Amino acid sequence: MSEQDDAVSDGEGHDHSEKVIMKKLILATTVLTVVAGVALYLWFMPGYYQNYAPEQPIPFSHQRHAGQFQIPCLYCHGSAEYAEFASVPGLETCMNCHTMVLPNSPWIQQVKKAYDEKKPIAWVKVHVLPDFVYFNHSRHVSAGVQCQTCHGPVETMEKVYQFSKLNMGWCIDCHRNNNYLTPSRIEFAKKRDEMRGAEPMNPVLQAMSHPDPHNADISCSTCHR
């Protein structure tokens, strides 16, 4: 009696636990696959991370334009000085030079064709902050932070890449430690103070031109509104 019971319950128990194990296995495999999938997706996602350097539709070289020919950054990215976004120049800016410079290059012919047809070139964005972060170029540029402090030596780049981490720690580190000043800026501030002598510059003018170095706000609402 008890033997039979044992045998039956054994059999049932065995069947039962086999099912449970199978279920657990299926569950574990599913979870693992999903996790691995997400991880792989995040890893290979054409995304925005340090050193990200996407292929561009026209191989525009900053090394050539901003380095070799020393075209100022603001000639092409003028809005960085007065607006939230730095924006990429329109094709009319390119054609200012390229009606004359290398008109027979196949790349330039592609630029000219797009210009004539009024079709913008679909440059691939390199830097993107999440939507919940507020960032304003003009505030940084007018405070004397150089493009290169955040974007690295762009004038040496054949293809632009994301030089900085662009994470929250990176923003806060500079805001807290006031570490955005280059030696030439410090030299400039010193000279200006000498020239100014006893008479301090009009505070409004001073804020508009080259404000003295000071820490930027690190309260949450500065960057998250």
Contact region with ligand HEC (CB under 6 A), list: 6-14, 61-69, 112-120, 191-199: 61-69
How many distinct helices (H) and strands (E) make up the chain? 11, 0
Size of the site for ligand HEC (CB under 6 A): 71
* Using rule CB under 6 A, residue 149 touches ligand HEC: yes
Nearer to ligand HEC, 176 or 196 (CB): 176
Nearer to ligand HEC, 172 or 201 (CB): 172
Rama region for 152: left / alpha / beta (φ>0; ψ in -120 to 50; rest): left
* Using rule CB under 6 A, residue 66 touches ligand HEC: yes
* Using rule CB under 6 A, residue 82 touches ligand HEC: no
Q: Which of residues 178-217 bind ligand HEC (CB under 6 A)?
A: 180, 216
- The residue behind tokens 């955040």 is 150
Nearer to ligand HEC, 106 or 197 (CB): 106
Q: Which of residues 152-171 bind ligand HEC (CB under 6 A)?
A: 154-155, 160, 166-168, 170-171
What 3 state SS string does 140-177 have? HHHCCCCHHHHHCCHHHCCCCCCCCCCCHHHHHHHHHH
Output the CA–CA distances (angstroms, integers) from residue 123 to 70, 85, 108, 109, 129, in the order listed: 22, 15, 15, 17, 17
Closest CA to 178 of 123, 140, 135, 225: 140
Least Å distance between CB 99 and ligand HEC? Answer: 10
Q: Considering only residues 71, 114, 189, 201, which one is a binding residue for ligand HEC as defined by CB under 6 A?
A: 71
Give the Cα separation of 128 and 29 in Å (integer). 35
* Per-residue contact string for residues 125-144; x = within reach of ligand HEC by CB under 6 A: xxxxxx--xxxxx-xxx-x-
Query: What distance separates the 2 farthest-apart alpha carbons in the chain?
Result: 110
* Using rule CB under 6 A, residue 73 touches ligand HEC: yes
- The residue behind tokens 């293809």 is 159
* Using rule CB under 6 A, residue 115 touches ligand HEC: no
* Using rule CB under 6 A, residue 220 touches ligand HEC: yes
* Using rule CB under 6 A, residue 65 touches ligand HEC: yes
Identity at 61, one-letter amino acid code: S
* Using rule CB under 6 A, residue 78 touches ligand HEC: no
> 130 burial class (0-12, 13-18, 19+ CB within 10 angstroms)?
exposed
Contact region with ligand HEC (CB under 6 A), list: 10-18, 19-27, 119-127, 182-190: 119-127
